[in-house]
Structure 1
Amino acid sequence: MKSYCLEISGDFACFTRPEMKVERVSYDVITPSSARAVFETILWKPAIRWHVRRIEVLRPIRWINLRRNEVGAVVSVRNAQQAMTAGEGDLALYIEDERQQRAGLFLRDVAYRVHADLEVRDDRRDPMPPMKYREMFERRADKGQCVNQPYLGCREFAARVRRLETLSGEPAPIRETRDLGWMLHDLDFGNPADPQPHFFRAQMTDGVIEVPRLNAREVAR
């Protein structure tokens, strides 16, 4: 495995707490699963896995209340299957009929340094050597290439991403220590039909959060 570091920043962010059923309320900082997703927007292959190891908070944790319009429905799978079988069908959603106004407690003016390991799976079918995946990620990250626009929890909150080869001259994390409580670590896709959430007790020490491995003892399943 080889470690990489990305600086991830943006004007707004929302890493939604799953216990909030109606309104969106963000965690205090980016979650490991959201950070992993940013790495995957740059490079994802079935033969590799990303493991987030450390999160550094670079700006003070600040909040903002926003009220937004959201679409409160999705196209049903059954209707989509029927349309595929028949070759035609009405799968449109009319925003005027499905619009919902919701309040949310979001983060603003965020910046993080995220350290993650690139693991090339031993059971991969692709014969490409591990060095090729590393070179591919480095080339894409340095050129600003990505599969889709990286975002901070919600797709409308676009993220700015920069790969760091060295931390020399980079700003230090914020000087703040606090217990962030239970936080979503990631989803276990061992059973793709029923992915299971895993949580860990996030502790920020001088702006740094050490992320345990998904199978570590301190991770709750």
Structure 2
Amino acid sequence: MVTVKVWGDYACFTRPEFKVERVSYPVMTPSAARGVLEAIFWKPEFRYEIRAIGVLNMGSEMVILRNEIDRRQGSNPFFVEDARQQRCSLVLKNVAYLIRAEMSLQSWATDPVYKYRDQFNRRVERGQCHHRPYLGTREFAAFFAPAGEGDRPQPLDMDLGNMLLDIAYVEDPSRPEMGFVRHGPGGARRATGYHRALFFPARLEAGWLRVPPEKYRELYRLEGEDYV
């Protein structure tokens, strides 16, 4: 088990049911928590399974107006002024969380899990990361540090409804809707298929959002990967 404290001035954990305007969940999602951990330390031999997210500071909601573009940035350049759109976003201000997660090894991994856990803890203590972690969207940078003895979640009980757990990337040549990378004992390879969002009924109990482990089994079944 690894534990890390993360906080930031702003956050936006976008609800996927809102198509145009960005509306944040009131609490960090497991997929956003996984992104923070992978920014600190990632290897293809394991995957983070979020077990719980503790709310140290719920923060407050605020509406901001942001400039976005209406197309993907690719190899063909275009004038931003021709693609700019202004959209409102409901974001969170002044948030802080505790993230608890386990590392699940790929079946082909050769090193023990404690090796990766120790590497993660050393990087957190030193403030090292592969890239700056963020809280939902890249412009909302996250700070991180080891969890302290005085870090206690707020005594909150709240029904959060269906929350996004993660996105499964399903390899299926008959549905080449997108391309992604698969890792194996032979290294990385390109794959094609489609994506599928997985949700779970979320609830805060005494300030903790618990994530059901069986949902990760469903994720691995869809992706056709074997973790231990």
TM-score where L is the length of structure 2: 0.81
8 Å contact from structure 1 (residues 63, 106) kept in 2: yes
Q: Identify unmatched segments of 5+ residues in structure 1.
A: 81-90
Q: Cα RMSD (Å) of the superposition?
A: 1.8
Instruction: Say if 2:70 and 2:83, in contact at 8 Å, map to a contact too.
Output: yes
Distance 2:139 2:50 in 1: 23
Out of 123, 134, 137, which is 1:154 matched to?
137
Find the counterpart in structure 2 of residue 123 from structure 1.
108
- Percentage identity across aligned positions? 41
Number of positions where the alignment pairs a residue of Structure 1 with one of Structure 2 = 198
Report what 1:7 is aligned to. Answer: 5
* Greater RCO (Cα-Cα under 8 Å, separation 6 or more): 1
When Rg is computed on C-alpha atoms for both structures, the one with the higher figure is 1
Distance 2:154 2:145 in 1: 19
Matches within 5 A, 1:86-165: 91-124=76-109, 127-164=110-147
- TM superposition shift of 1:162: 1.0
- Cα separation, partners in 2 of 1:205 and 1:216, compared to 1, 3 Å: farther
User: C-alpha separation between the residues in 1 aligned to 2:153 and 2:112?
Assistant: 35
Indicate conservation of the 8 Å contact 1:29/1:61, yes or no: no
Letter in 2 for 1:155: R
Alignment partner, residue 87 of structure 1: none
Q: 1:216 deviation in Å?
A: 6.5
Residue 131 (structure 1) shift: 3.3
Q: Aligned partners of 2:167 and 2:111: how far apart in 1? A: 27
1:55 pairs with one of 40, 53, 56: 53
- CA–CA distance in 2 between the matches of 1:204 and 1:184? 15
TM-fit CA distance, 1:135: 2.5
| 8 Å contact from structure 1 (residues 74, 93) kept in 2 | no
Q: Distance in 2 between matches of 1:102 and 1:95?
A: 15
Q: Write the letter of the residue equivalent to 2:86.
A: Q
Match of 2:161 among 181, 187, 192: 181
Question: Who is 2:202 aligned against?
Answer: 202
CA positional deviation for 1:157? 0.2
Distance 1:144 1:136, change over 3 A: same
**2: CA distance, partners of 1:215 / 1:55:** 16
CA distance in 1, matches of 2:141, 2:78: 25
Runs of 4+ in structure 1 deviating by more than 4 angstroms, as ranges, are none
Contact 2:27 2:58 in 1 (8 A): no
Q: Which amino acid in structure 2 is aligned with residue 145 of structure 1?
A: Q
Distance 1:143 1:65 in 2: 35
| CA 16–104 in structure 1, closer or farther in 2 if over 3 Å, else same | same
Q: Secondary structure at the match of 1:123?
A: coil
